[in-house]
A and B are shown apart, each in its own frame.
Chain A
């Protein structure tokens, strides 16, 4: 079992005719074909104005609505450049697609606030933006992570960071732990899916036995996650917070933290997670061991 991405997942890529969009669609298709031979997981793409064409075997559509109607896609991977990305996400929401995974980095904050407002009450879920994507090892990957560092297993990973997630998956592999699903939620101030959403999904997923939470400085999402874990999560949780040595943040970060009544430093977040029984590694090299320790408790 897994969360978000499973054997029913059918993916289109918005921005498939761009360099990154095509490259990663190809990589994702390769991975899915290895995992599920003979099954088409990556079924096409969208670039307005390039409908009725094809790029490396992927049919291209003018709109998300068209693509869904003709391919049966239920998930969109978004590689649209930052100035147009919010519009692309909103188009996918309007078309009623279930899951939107936005990889694009550099979307203006105001645009994401508009997206967030427009998504209130919608049945679509957004993961990202500015994230590596989602992988259910052995089934499919939707995003830019290298597939081979992940092995199928029972650990759920939730992370704000890209390469640090790869590091975590690699460390888990070294201690013999595979992943049910690994999700990058992205490091932007306004994101579609947060720790709490995913903690709930992993808690309810029978295929997940333990959860690794990887956070970083800024904001207070990790502390809210700690509160949630305290009263709602019974599965073992391990964690790591990046940025213990980062210099005091820009004022912007501080002002955001003021409103939430403090929070934002690595030390506070680590203490907050430890206080609810999460095994937190001081060292970024200890994420795998921390997960193992949490499982053994």
Chain B
């Protein structure tokens, strides 16, 4: 689960991690007032959407307006805010459709000496959390890793003990910090690592992490996401969820206990199990078409969940055919067919439907399909299913 920058900074501040002074605003007038309240001669107005690349992003309605701007007066702050609020910001991470900006975050301007990168993730190989730092602040870390892997420093730390001061010093010296900055790192880095563990984060990324002119570390940006499986023990974090930032179909699917990812193709897929669902997408592509979605109905879905899965798939206008691929283990094939026939009844399936069933109760399920008067195309194996569903597009 992702949260907004301003929410992340509120949490970080509470955890003792230094962040700039900032005020959350919902209107242009609030933005102007925030500039005055912060009291400096420089402030930053930042669009609050979940996607990154906001500084380089531009608004659809105002092609010259950046998603993050430096302003020098309350009037200038207000003018910018009027163009930003309610408009659609397109960044490298939003896709062409962009994201509507409903909230702005106004922060004090800072005297910045250096910009750095900092990220914390769980590394599979290490089997624990790892702190990543780089001298290349503000850059995409993937790009740095690709072009200058030597500029990436990593420091694994123990879950319970946290990051030790010596580990913070090791990184600080490697990054060429002066004595004051090293002392700042000894405090800043362990606190951030503790924040990561205490909140069951999947990722905490501070890009850029800045050194001010008086050699203090400060989180200038903050991107935080949480392990959804651990939200049960963080009721306060659940409240930070902003559903308007998530794909409506994916939200709907999650509510029904389904795992769904919307894609750009034309063949809807309904599959049980994540690996088989990915493989079904692969085989559609191998036969020359594109999948419209990833959908895993899970191991023990009931008729209602499967019907909802059909509704979600069919609500995508790009879907021109549907492939159902079920290998019944716990999931019984006859339940799938029952749901399928119910979906014809209630949802109305107007596109070609190809069904490949194998596993528990498959004979009963096949008989149900044979006995019904629906125009369902049956397939015997994965290849047969892919060929038939791709052929149905041009039929």
> Which A positions have Cβ atoms within 8 angstroms of B?
20, 82-83, 106-111, 113-114, 116-117, 132, 144-146, 149, 159-167, 170, 187, 189-190, 214, 216-217, 219-221, 224, 240, 242-247, 251-252, 254-256, 258-262, 266, 282-285
Docked-complex contact A245 and B285, CB < 8 angstroms: yes
Number of residues from B at the complex interface, CB < 8 A: 66
Docked-complex contact B276 and A164, CB < 8 angstroms: yes
In the complex, which residue of chain B has the Cβ closest to the Cβ of A218? Answer: B124
Main secondary structure of the interface of B (DSSP, over half): mixed
Given contacts A167-B279, A251-B203, A252-B225, contact A189 B359 (CB under 8 A): no
Docked-complex contact B119 and A166, CB < 8 angstroms: no
- Bound together, the chains give a CA A1 to CA B237 distance in angstroms of 50
Docked-complex contact B274 and A161, CB < 8 angstroms: yes
- Bound together, the chains give a CA A205 to CA B293 distance in angstroms of 41
In the complex, which residue of chain B has the Cβ closest to the Cβ of A243? Answer: B278
State the 10 A-B residue pairs at the shortest beta-carbon distance, nearest first: A161-B275, A163-B273, A164-B275, A284-B279, A108-B230, A285-B382, A163-B276, A242-B278, A258-B145, A285-B383
Chain B residues, CB < 8 A from A243: 278, 281-282
Asked whether any CB of chain A lies closer than 8 Å to the CB of B36, the reply is: no
Given contacts A163-B327, A256-B124, contact A245 B383 (CB under 8 A): no
In the complex, which residue of chain B has the Cβ closest to the Cβ of A145? Answer: B329
- Bound together, the chains give a CA A46 to CA B76 distance in angstroms of 67
Chain A residues, CB < 8 A from B280: 284
Given contacts A106-B229, A187-B275, A285-B283, contact A163 B329 (CB under 8 A): yes
- Bound together, the chains give a CA A278 to CA B82 distance in angstroms of 60
- Bound together, the chains give a CA A260 to CA B154 distance in angstroms of 10
Q: Which of A116, A187, A260 contacts B274 (CB 8 A)?
A: A187
- Bound together, the chains give a CA A260 to CA B124 distance in angstroms of 9
Docked-complex contact A113 and B274, CB < 8 angstroms: no
Q: Which of A113, A220, A262, A282 contacts B286 (CB 8 A)?
A: A282
Asked whether any CB of chain A lies closer than 8 Å to the CB of B11, the reply is: no
Shortest B296–chain A CB gap in Å is 9
Q: List 7 A-B contacts (CB under 8 A).
A: A108-B230, A114-B159, A117-B160, A162-B273, A246-B281, A261-B149, A266-B282
Chain A residues, CB < 8 A from B152: 258
Asked whether any CB of chain A lies closer than 8 Å to the CB of B141, the reply is: yes
Within 8 A of A (CB), among B8-61: none
Shortest A13–chain B CB gap in Å is 16
Chain A residues, CB < 8 A from B125: 219-220, 224, 259-260
Q: Which of A110, A187, A240, A283 has the most CB of B within 10 A?
A: A110
Docked-complex contact B123 and A283, CB < 8 angstroms: no
Chain B residues, CB < 8 A from A106: 229
C-beta contact mask, B249-278 vs A, less than 8 Å → 1, else 0?
Answer: 000000000000101000000011111101
Q: Which of B119, B233, B263, B282 contacts A244 (CB 8 A)?
A: B282
- Bound together, the chains give a CA A221 to CA B358 distance in angstroms of 30
Asked whether any CB of chain A lies closer than 8 Å to the CB of B96, the reply is: no
Docked-complex contact B159 and A161, CB < 8 angstroms: no
Asked whether any CB of chain A lies closer than 8 Å to the CB of B243, the reply is: no
Shortest B147–chain A CB gap in Å is 12
In the complex, which residue of chain B has the Cβ closest to the Cβ of A164? Answer: B275
Shortest A259–chain B CB gap in Å is 5
Docked-complex contact B124 and A219, CB < 8 angstroms: yes
Asked whether any CB of chain A lies closer than 8 Å to the CB of B126, the reply is: yes
Docked-complex contact A217 and B278, CB < 8 angstroms: yes
Shortest B322–chain A CB gap in Å is 17
- Bound together, the chains give a CA A245 to CA B330 distance in angstroms of 27
Asked whether any CB of chain A lies closer than 8 Å to the CB of B127, the reply is: yes
In the complex, which residue of chain B has the Cβ closest to the Cβ of A19? Answer: B300
- Bound together, the chains give a CA A163 to CA B114 distance in angstroms of 50
Asked whether any CB of chain A lies closer than 8 Å to the CB of B175, the reply is: no
- Bound together, the chains give a CA A174 to CA B22 distance in angstroms of 64
Q: Which of B124, B278, B300 contacts A190 (CB 8 A)?
A: B124
Interface-lining segment among B128-136, B208-216, B306-314: B128-136
Asked whether any CB of chain A lies closer than 8 Å to the CB of B345, the reply is: no
- Bound together, the chains give a CA A214 to CA B275 distance in angstroms of 9
Q: Which of A144, A145, A164, A244 contacts B285 (CB 8 A)?
A: A244
Asked whether any CB of chain A lies closer than 8 Å to the CB of B381, the reply is: yes
Shortest A282–chain B CB gap in Å is 7
Docked-complex contact A283 and B159, CB < 8 angstroms: no
Asked whether any CB of chain A lies closer than 8 Å to the CB of B110, the reply is: no
- Bound together, the chains give a CA A190 to CA B382 distance in angstroms of 31
Docked-complex contact B358 and A283, CB < 8 angstroms: no
Docked-complex contact A144 and B329, CB < 8 angstroms: yes
Asked whether any CB of chain A lies closer than 8 Å to the CB of B242, the reply is: no
- Bound together, the chains give a CA A262 to CA B233 distance in angstroms of 33
Q: Which of B229, B233, B300 has the most CB of A within 10 A?
A: B229
Shortest A224–chain B CB gap in Å is 8
- Bound together, the chains give a CA A158 to CA B294 distance in angstroms of 23
Asked whether any CB of chain A lies closer than 8 Å to the CB of B232, the reply is: yes
Chain A residues, CB < 8 A from B119: 255
Docked-complex contact B358 and A170, CB < 8 angstroms: yes
Docked-complex contact B291 and A245, CB < 8 angstroms: yes
- Bound together, the chains give a CA A220 to CA B232 distance in angstroms of 29
Chain B residues, CB < 8 A from A164: 273, 275-276, 279
Asked whether any CB of chain A lies closer than 8 Å to the CB of B248, the reply is: no
Asked whether any CB of chain A lies closer than 8 Å to the CB of B360, the reply is: yes
Given contact pairs A110-B159, A187-B275, A221-B124, a sample of 19 additional A-B residue pairs in the complex whose CB atoms are under 8 Å apart: A20-B300, A108-B200, A108-B230, A111-B230, A117-B127, A132-B329, A144-B330, A146-B329, A149-B359, A161-B274, A163-B272, A164-B279, A167-B279, A190-B122, A216-B278, A220-B125, A243-B278, A256-B121, A258-B142
Chain A residues, CB < 8 A from B291: 245
- Bound together, the chains give a CA A161 to CA B274 distance in angstroms of 7
Chain A residues, CB < 8 A from B232: 82-83
Docked-complex contact B329 and A167, CB < 8 angstroms: no
Q: Which of A146, A258, A260 has the most CB of B within 10 A?
A: A258
Asked whether any CB of chain A lies closer than 8 Å to the CB of B102, the reply is: no
Given contacts A242-B278, A244-B282, contact A107 B229 (CB under 8 A): yes
Asked whether any CB of chain A lies closer than 8 Å to the CB of B392, the reply is: no
In the complex, which residue of chain A has the Cβ closest to the Cβ of B281? Answer: A245
